[in-house]
Structure 1
Amino acid sequence: MVQNIYDNEAFYSKYTALRNNELSYNEILEMPIMQELLPDINNKSVLDAGCGMGKFIQYLLSKNPKTITGIDISNNMIEYAKQHVDDDRVTFEVGDILTYQTNEPFKCIVSSLAFHYVEDYVELIKKLNELLVEDGILLFSTEHPIQTATKSKNPWIHDQSPYQHYKMDHYFEESARETEWLGESVIRYHRTIGTMINTLIENGFVIEKVVDHGNTELSMEMWDEETRLKVNQKPPFITIRARKGRI
């Protein structure tokens, strides 16, 4: 099961405004790491799983790929991407990555902040392995387990100063987490770091890099003190790069 909150019109409107903010977590923290860890895709086929508004695809095009396929379960997201990405090398498709089929496996699969919406992580990783050629690269970011663990409606403890402590209760209870975001109820799926990494290993991947997202020179320069303080206390994202090996 993959959640599709982005076809909720009220949520979609608020999200696009947030995602188009040049000071967003995506632009300041996540995208720079995804760009840094991207392998050489020159003249190679790329799949963007959960491509959203096509933001990362716009960057991928600058690296001269042979083809890019963007797939997302949201009609709204795919329509936005089609309107803002005009390149013959790019194909967009509305669909669920777990049931996606192709006769031509990809050299590289990328995914930006989508995996935490997928309930069955094991099946997801198996599917992505099938869609990659041998030695192909999987590069994905997702919400950090430190962030998704808590079930508290008020995860911050304001003791002595704002945003001093962030709750990390129920870490080992891997299950759905309901949270309110942009005025709507959103379901994310919490899994431990061990589950994330071991599932990759057990399904034929070799881990090449793991990055916990924290403040960087860019965020220290661009963000106000309150936003920097939040990130100092807990990483919002984790990015993993893995290579398909032999099982």
Structure 2
Amino acid sequence: MHDQNIYDNEVFFEGYRKLREQPSAANHLVEKPALFSLCPNLSGKRVLDLGCGYGENCREFLHLGASHVTGLDLSEKMLQIAKAENNAERISFVRMSMSDLSALDGTFDVVFSSLAVHYVEDFDQLLAQIHRLLADGGIFLFSQEHPFTTALRKGPRWSQNEDGTINHYNLSDYGIPGIRTTTWIVDGVIKYHRTFSDIVNALSTAGFQLEQMLEPLPGADILAQYPAYQKCYHKPDFLLVRAKKCCV
């Protein structure tokens, strides 16, 4: 099983950091508000954050009442920032790959993951291990790159007029799941494509009940400030899923 750990690549990490610091970043404007709109009541809950990155969500979970938060990430560079900027008494940061959670102990009421599951090759195993870690009735809430985004294997993503106006998204290879090697900040970034039915059926097989799915779009206020986000109405950037562990 492949663990690329692209976030510890110095060039990628610096490029990613600059992207996230931009006020127009889609993570801040679209993904994060949608993620927290699906957030269950965290009062007194034990929370696991898979692919916690900088740890800012971990700290927010505490503000929302979580009794303890475990932030897990493979990247040492990410965890260094998390420990420096978002450490707290009831947060534990752990360096571990999402590809194998078998060494992780404890039981959690809520498992979050923000924009990380598309880096995991074996989605079925990930779901089985999350199911094991969740208490009965626990919630798994995750976001990922939209399946239309992960589908492409080659070619330009957008068709544009000569003046640069986007006409439509060039969807291709959607029905071919598996590895994708893309250029994002650096060449050779590995992600994994799954169709909507792959995702839903895997959740069901693993013992989850689907509660809600979102494909969030930027509102009028964002479009007024950043007109380039109009392209999201052709193809959303993100897919968010909230699922509940079924009681045995």
TM class by smaller structure: over 0.9
The answer for the alignment partner of 2:7 in structure 1 is 6
For the Cα contact (< 8 Å) 1:98–1:127, is it kept in 2? no
Aligned length: 245
Give the whole-Å Cα distance in 1 for the aligned partners of 2:222 and 2:216: 11
The answer for the alignment partner of 1:64 in structure 2 is 65
Deviation at 1:62, TM superposition (A): 1.3
1:153 is aligned to 2:126: no
The answer for the alignment partner of 1:126 in structure 2 is 128
Structure 1 residue runs of 4 or more that deviate by more than 3 Å after TM superposition: none
The answer for the alignment partner of 2:247 in structure 1 is 246
The answer for the alignment partner of 2:211 in structure 1 is 208
Give the whole-Å Cα distance in 2 for the aligned partners of 1:155 and 1:84: 36
Provide, for residues 94-138 of structure 1, a one-character-per-residue CA deviation record: whole Å limited to 9, x for no partner.
111233334421000000000010111111111111110100000
The answer for the alignment partner of 1:98 in structure 2 is 99
TM, length-normalised to structure 1: 0.94
1:80 is aligned to 2:81: yes
Deviation larger for 43-52 or 149-158: 149-158
For the Cα contact (< 8 Å) 1:145–1:193, is it kept in 2? yes
Give the whole-Å Cα distance in 2 for the aligned partners of 1:177 and 1:19: 23
1:69 partner SS: strand
1:19 is aligned to 2:20: yes
Give the whole-Å Cα distance in 2 for the aligned partners of 1:115 and 1:84: 24
For the Cα contact (< 8 Å) 2:59–2:88, is it kept in 1? no
Amino acid in the other structure paired with 1:106: F
Question: What is the aligned-residue RMSD (CA, Å)?
Answer: 1.5
Give the whole-Å Cα distance in 1 for the aligned partners of 2:220 and 2:39: 20
TM, length-normalised to structure 2: 0.94
Deviation at 1:156, TM superposition (A): 1.1
Tell me the percent identity.
33
2:217 partner SS: coil
Gapped regions of structure 1 (runs ≥ 5): none
Give the whole-Å Cα distance in 2 for the aligned partners of 1:30 and 1:108: 18
Deviation at 1:218, TM superposition (A): 4.3
1:188 partner SS: strand
Gapped regions of structure 2 (runs ≥ 5): none
Deviation at 1:221, TM superposition (A): 4.1
1:51 partner SS: coil
2:165 partner SS: strand
Give the whole-Å Cα distance in 1 for the aligned partners of 2:221 and 2:6: 30
1:97 partner SS: coil
Provide, for residues 165-215 of structure 1, a one-character-per-residue CA deviation record: whole Å limited to 9, x for no partner.
111111110011111111332111011011111100111101110001222
**Match of residue 197, structure 2, among 181, 187, 194:** 194
Q: 1:136 to 1:218 in 2, by over 3 A?
A: farther
The answer for the alignment partner of 1:176 in structure 2 is 179
Amino acid in the other structure paired with 1:188: K
Amino acid in the other structure paired with 1:187: I
